[in-house]
Amino acid sequence: MPPEASASKHQAIERAALSLFLRDGYERTSVDAIAAEAGVSKRTVYSHFGDKENLFLTTLRDTRDELRERLREIVERTMTGPDAERALLTCVTEIARTTTTSPERAGLIRLLVATMPHFPESTELWRQRSITPILATGLERLAAAGALKIDDSEEAAGHLSALTIGQINNRSIMGTVPLSDAETEQILTSGVAVFLRAYGVHR
């Protein structure tokens, strides 16, 4: 089979698996159902992923990585320049918009929580969801530009996340309850203001 065809089938299986795992959960999703959804044979599913457990964990990991890359792009693009308040607000607003409108995110979180007792690997995946390291790189750039005063970028990123994205997650129950634009703006503006009291450059 040409590499392109193999890669296409691999992606089709992952898309089908994600859709069914999110809809029906791990236990109720069969390999037969995944194969039918992907338009491939059951044997093809096994040849690509070995077994249902590996397919499940691979699908979760790849979905998480895709979302993290989207967030990394936002941080790299927005956390620049000498205006820390503008940069931070732009960044967390885009992150909030991306995460709350992601069709997979809320389902992925529920799936991770539900499977943690049965899959120790899910606990590690949950831990690695943290946006803190990604935010830390952006804060380091702002600090290098003289826009922030930061000694520990990881700690500062944890504070920024807790004050902004964390509040959005709490209020929306991890994206399952919609927030109004006004409420989201208030949460993010307030969170950035508190963050800047601690880390802003006060002249």
> pLDDT at position 86, please?
97
> pLDDT at position 131, please?
85
Q: pLDDT tens-digit profile of 146-189?
A: 999 999 999 999 999 999 999 988 887 666 677 888 999 999 99
> pLDDT at position 35, please?
95
Q: Single out the residue of 105, 121, 128, 5 nearest to residue 56, CA to CA.
A: 121
Fill in the DSSP letter of residue 148.
Answer: B
> pLDDT at position 64, please?
81
Instruction: Tell me: do 104 and 190 sit in the same domain.
Output: yes
Instruction: Tell me: do 92 and 26 sit in the same domain.
Output: no
> pLDDT at position 127, please?
61
Residues of the chain with pLDDT under 70: 1-5, 102-106, 122-129, 173-176, 203
> pLDDT at position 174, please?
65
Which CATH number does the domain housing residue 31 bear? 1.10.10.60
Q: How many CA atoms lie within 13 A of 155 on its CB side?
A: 6
Instruction: Tell me: do 97 and 152 sit in the same domain.
Output: yes
Q: Tell which phi-psi region holds residue 174, choosing left (phi > 0), alpha (psi between -120 and 50) or beta.
A: left
Give 154-158 contacts, CB < 8 A, sequence gap 24+. 156/195, 156/199, 157/131, 157/132, 157/133, 158/132
In the chain, the number of structural domains is: 2
Token duo for residue 62: 């790849």
Instruction: Tell me: do 185 and 147 sit in the same domain.
Output: yes
Query: For residue 140, is it within any domain?
Result: yes
Task: Please report, for residues 34, 59, 132, the alpha-carbon distance to residue 47 in angstroms, rounded to integers and kept in the order given.
Answer: 14, 15, 36
Which CATH number does the domain housing residue 104 bear? 1.10.357.10
Q: What letter represents residue 97's amino acid? A: R
CB atoms within 10 A of CB 116: 15
Average pLDDT, the chain: 87
Q: For residue 12, give its domain range.
A: 1-50
